[in-house]
Structure 1
Amino acid sequence: MCSLPRDDKTGLQAFRIAGLPPDFYYIPNFISVEEEASILQKPGEGIMPHEDGGAYAEVVATVSLGGALCLDVLPKPENPAEDRREKKDDEDEEHAQPLNTDLDEEEQKTKEKMLTLPTRIFQEPRSLLITTGRAYRDLMHGIASIEVDEELNAESVANWELLSEEGRKGVEENGGRNVRGTRVSLTYRDVIKVSRAASRVLGGMGRR
């Protein structure tokens, strides 16, 4: 990440393009090589399962461009301390209020289906994926380091019914397989915690 002079209150004057009106700025190496690699995701490259953390608001929107792939959705690893607390709660079950007592049978079936993890979300080119709430807080997501997604069907892909007709047909005609191509992921987040460096670079641009 670039460094900024201490006397520059807006953080941008050091990068103004001389000879043009003072509204043109150019910042070399604005993102790291690692960040660039994560954006230009090539076939066979993956991302370890992770959660986005508390630096962002609990809503993330991702637009996929280029190749299609599967996003793996997984539960968080078990916490031994939490397991002990849950065991104690189970021992006192007679004093606890049963869960989901306000759900009818059909809603209970739907809930059980939703909680079947791990699962996969097939991200087509030009698609938008939004995660919020429990999807953001309680689950992890990642991308397997493979070149071909296999056994794609209504049973293994959570968003199968939401896929475009063209996308589903293409996967079915390919025997339930998706050969990955280079993919660009445009991720939109609402940043809660901003580093001092980023604040100095962008602080003067967002004021209205």
Structure 2
Amino acid sequence: MEHPCSIFEDLERYVVRDAPPTVYYIPDFITEDEESQLLQQVYKAPKTKWTQLSNRRLQNWGGLPRPKGMLGEKLPDWLLKYCERISALGAFAGKTANHVLVNEYKPGEGIMPHEDGPLYHPTVTTISLGSHTLLDFYRPISAQELDEVPQTEESRYLLSLLVRPRSLLILQDDMYQRLLHGIQGTHHDSLTERVANLLATGVLPGATLTRGTRVSLTVRHVPIVMRANLLLGRK
């Protein structure tokens, strides 16, 4: 199996050493002007583009990934620009990102611990807009330990990453394929020594940050893409 991420060597300085393999955290990946333009484009999207969930709302661009493949749709230029920029870093082993999930999290909203699954190339990249968040990582529930001690979310918690506005986060290897990640539904984040990339963010341990509305662009490569004319030809 090919390596999931052939990151260029000059990005090695962005590796988060205090986390399992492998995290790249790049502060100020985009400028404030780019952040503002991206937010404008997100909120200019038609209402029909939004899907409302119980704890957040989202937009799906590039197609809807399914086990048998994604019916590909052309990405708009305002997203394609960043897909190409991230892909040029080697994030998808020479392939180009073709799918973007836009999530809006208001203060107090989060997402349960989960994994992204096998529909994607085993690398996930995220640009954050508008506000920080604290991304928490957990060991999966182990069948071998079920009879020993109750496996609560708290007992499986390993570490967190502070994700600041305009940053790029790249996850691969164990951080993508083995661990679960989630966001607590809270209005404030207290930062401890278990935030593995704290030094790279310029925030001191013990600080408390207040969340605003955050928009995340989750940029990925879906390996299996189907064309509409192929589907129409099937009976």
Shared fold by TM > 0.5? yes
Q: 1:76 aligns with which of 120, 133, 140?
A: 140
2:165 corresponds to which residue?
125
Q: 1:143 aligns with which of 167, 183, 186?
A: 183
What's the CA shift string for 1:97-128, capped at 9, x where partnerless?
xxxxxxxxxxxxxxxxxxx9521100001111
Q: 1:32 aligns with which of 42, 47, 51?
A: 51
2:200 corresponds to which residue?
162
- Which structure has more strand as a fraction of its residues? 2
Distance 1:83 1:43, change over 3 A: closer
Consecutive unaligned residues in structure 1, runs of 5 or more: 1-25, 85-115, 204-208
2:97 corresponds to which residue?
none
Task: Give the superposition deviation at 1:70.
Answer: 0.3
The amino acid across from 2:48 in the alignment is: N
Task: Give the superposition deviation at 1:193.
Answer: 4.2
d(CA) in 1 for partners of 2:103 and 2:179?
22
The amino acid across from 1:66 in the alignment is: G
Q: TM-score, structure 2 length as denominator?
A: 0.50
Percentage of matched positions with identical amino acids: 38
d(CA) in 2 for partners of 1:64 and 1:27?
21
Q: TM-score, structure 1 length as denominator?
A: 0.56
Q: 1:178 aligns with which of 209, 213, 227?
A: 209
- Kept in 1, the 8 Å contact 2:129–2:214? The answer is yes
The amino acid across from 2:170 in the alignment is: I
2:228 corresponds to which residue?
200
1:49 corresponds to which residue?
113
Larger C-alpha radius of gyration, 1 or 2?
Answer: 1
What's the CA shift string for 1:39-62, capped at 9, x where partnerless?
111000010000000101100100
Residue aligned with 1:118, SS: strand
Residue aligned with 2:175, SS: helix
- Kept in 1, the 8 Å contact 2:136–2:157? The answer is no
Distance 1:28 1:71, change over 3 A: closer
Could you say which structure has the greater relative contact order, defined with CA pairs below 8 angstroms and 6 or more residues apart? 1
What's the CA shift string for 1:1-30, capped at 9, x where partnerless?
xxxxxxxxxxxxxxxxxxxxxxxxx98724
Task: Give the superposition deviation at 1:186.
Answer: 0.5
d(CA) in 1 for partners of 2:129 and 2:135?
14
